[in-house]
Each structure stands twice: as structure tokens, then as C-alpha cells.
Amino acid sequence: MKKLVRPAGLVMVLLSLGAVLMVCSLGNSRAFDGQKGRPEPEDVYPLPAVIDDTFQVEVLVNGHRVPEYAARGRRYIEAFEGAEYEVRIHNPLSVRVAVALSVDGLNTIDARHTSAWDAHKWVIEPYGTIEIGGWQMSSSRARRFYFTTERDSYAARLGQAQNLGLISAVFFRERGPIVVTPVTPGPPRPRSEDSDRVRVPESGSRGEPSPPKESNQSAPTSRGATSYPPPDDESAATGIGRSVRNDVQWIKMDLDSRPVSEVTIRYEYRAGLVKLGIIPREYPRPNVIDRRERARGFEPNYCPEPK
């Protein structure tokens, strides 16, 4: 049995959808604790282990999807400084999945840096969609994601600034099939705090860590001796913003240890995307290019005297 967490922060955004899913015996999204070996970077632009476009991971700003650019086998988006954002994740399968979601190398549930298999995870119901909009600070509270500089990022504050500018989601499929019992919808039930809570897995039989406590703890220091440039004020990273209500519950799930998909999104400010060659450089004087395009090799008559 694996340990899963169901986010309460999602209740604010997906309350109506969550209620429908519960009536249909499909449930809301939850969080899970998984495990997957972390590969060492072998080159400047390592490719994802698995690329599967059927699992959708999108970044939303003001409710709108941020356009993506494909390059180097990766997906890039433009970060907008100071803007809050959410990560929308869709499960295309007919079974529940658990997704390990990290931002800047930190698990969005407990801010730890582990393998995907060892990480606490969000649970998504069959064909379900969830939106994660912040760092889970307790069983009932999260703090919003927002684009900021590396120096101001949450990861830098925790001393874990070696994986900035990356959003990663690794999906694990539940082993056993889910039996869906048809339910005749009855009259609306009065809302209660417990009915809006997201389920989170309890401790399993493999020695998984217990659910995170009310306060976040920084991840352990890196094993390697690799040195990284210090955080700067020009590159994009994710900060820890305002506090919002986000209830979660822990649940048990038995997951397949092999991930079914992995999606990574790199984000940079526009200047960074230009330097990487992801988007073209803007020329301040386009009329110069136009003039050069209309140039001719010969003119009639002799050479004129210079003035």
C-alpha cells in the first residue's frame, strides 16, 4: 500500500467538479507518496525519461493556459514576473493515478527533494482533472505559486536552488481496478467542512514517511559536491505567496512502481527564452531589415563624388 494525499487547496477551485465526482463514486483528486530513481544530469538539456502527451500538464495564469514552445525535446513556457499560476493536470485513463508534482525540484506537498516514487503524490480520479495552485503548508492551507526571481524563490529560501525553472509531473497507475457502483443522484447535501476535504494516504507497509506535519521542513542537502551558481535576480523561479484554504486528506493506494508518464515544463522570462533561441529576438529597427531587403547591386551612370 502506498500513501497518498488529497489536496484541500483544490476545493477552492474544483468544489463543484469534486462534488459531481463524489456522487459518481469517482472521487476527487488526492495526493500520493511514490518512488522513482532520480537520474543524474548527463548533459545540459537532459530529455524526460518518458514523453506521453496523453497526460496533460498545463500552466494557467489568470485562468488561461500559458502558450508553450517545443524545443530540444522539451516544453518551454514564458514566465510573467509577479503573476500567480496554477498547474492543471488531466488523467486520461479509466483508473486512478497518483502524480508526483515538483516545482523547482521541490515536492509541492512537503517541499522535499526526493525520487518521484518516494514523493508524496496527488491523486487524480479516472478521467479527472485537478489544479494545484500552491505549496501545501498544512492539512488545510496552501500558499500560492507565483513567478519571481531566483533569489526570491521558495527553493532558494530553503537552500535548494539547484533545480530552479522546472515543473515536473510523474504519473503512477493504481494496480487494482476500481469498481464503480451506479448511484442515483439525490437532493443536494448541505456543505460541510469534511465533505470538501481531499483524501490523503495513510502510512503504508513499506516504511513510507508519515503525512507531513503542519510546518514544512527543508529537504536534505544534496549528496553530491557539485557547485551551482548562486541564485540571481534575472532568471525566473517560483515564490511562496499568499495563504489560501486547501484541505487535504490521506488515503491508501497500491501503485505500480513503473511510471506511466513523465511531463516536464521549463519556464523562463522572455529574455531567457530569447537567449536559449526558443523565441526570436525582437529587433528595435525593423525598417533597417526592410531597407536591406530592397537593396540593388547596380545603379546607372558613373560613381558620384562623395560630399
pLDDT tens for 42-93 read 343 344 444 454 899 999 999 999 999 999 889 999 999 999 999 999 999 9
**256/200: higher pLDDT:** 256
Tell me, yes or no, whether 115 lies in a domain: yes
What is the model's pLDDT at position 43?
40
What is the model's pLDDT at position 185?
52
Task: Give the number of residues written for the chain.
Answer: 307
Task: Out of 6-10, 185-189, 240-244, pick the least confident.
Answer: 6-10
What is the model's pLDDT at position 177?
56
Closest to 173 (Cα-Cα) out of 264, 14, 54, 58: 54
Q: CA angle, corner 132, sides to 129 and 136, nearest 5?
A: 140
Contact 162, 228 (CB under 8 A): yes
Judged against a pLDDT cut of 80, whether residue 219 lies above it is answered with: no
Range of the domain at 122: 2-281
**158/224: higher pLDDT:** 158
Helix/strand/coil for 10:
helix
Judged against a pLDDT cut of 50, whether residue 205 lies above it is answered with: no
Total domains, the chain:
1
Contact 86, 125 (CB under 8 A): no
The answer for 292, left when phi > 0, alpha when psi is -120 to 50, beta otherwise, is alpha
Tell me, yes or no, whether 302 lies in a domain: no
Judged against a pLDDT cut of 60, whether residue 37 lies above it is answered with: no
Tell me, yes or no, whether 306 lies in a domain: no
Q: What is the pTM of this model?
A: 0.65
User: Which run of H or of E encompasses 276?
Assistant: helix 270-276
Tell me, yes or no, whether 300 lies in a domain: no
Tell me, yes or no, whether 288 lies in a domain: no
Judged against a pLDDT cut of 60, whether residue 28 lies above it is answered with: no
Tell me, yes or no, whether 91 lies in a domain: yes
- Is residue 60 classed exposed, middle or buried when 0-12, 13-18 and 19+ CB atoms within 10 A define those classes? middle
The answer for 32, left when phi > 0, alpha when psi is -120 to 50, beta otherwise, is beta
Q: How confident is the model at residue 226 (pLDDT cuts 50, 70, 90)?
A: low
Closest to 117 (Cα-Cα) out of 39, 185, 51: 39
Query: What is the mean pLDDT of the segment spanning 1-21?
Result: 38
State pLDDT tens for residues 92-103. Answer: 999 999 999 999
Contacting residues for 3 by C-beta, under 8 A, at least 6 apart:
32, 33, 120, 200, 201, 202, 203, 204, 208, 209, 211, 250, 252, 253
Tell me, yes or no, whether 145 lies in a domain: yes
Tell me, yes or no, whether 296 lies in a domain: no
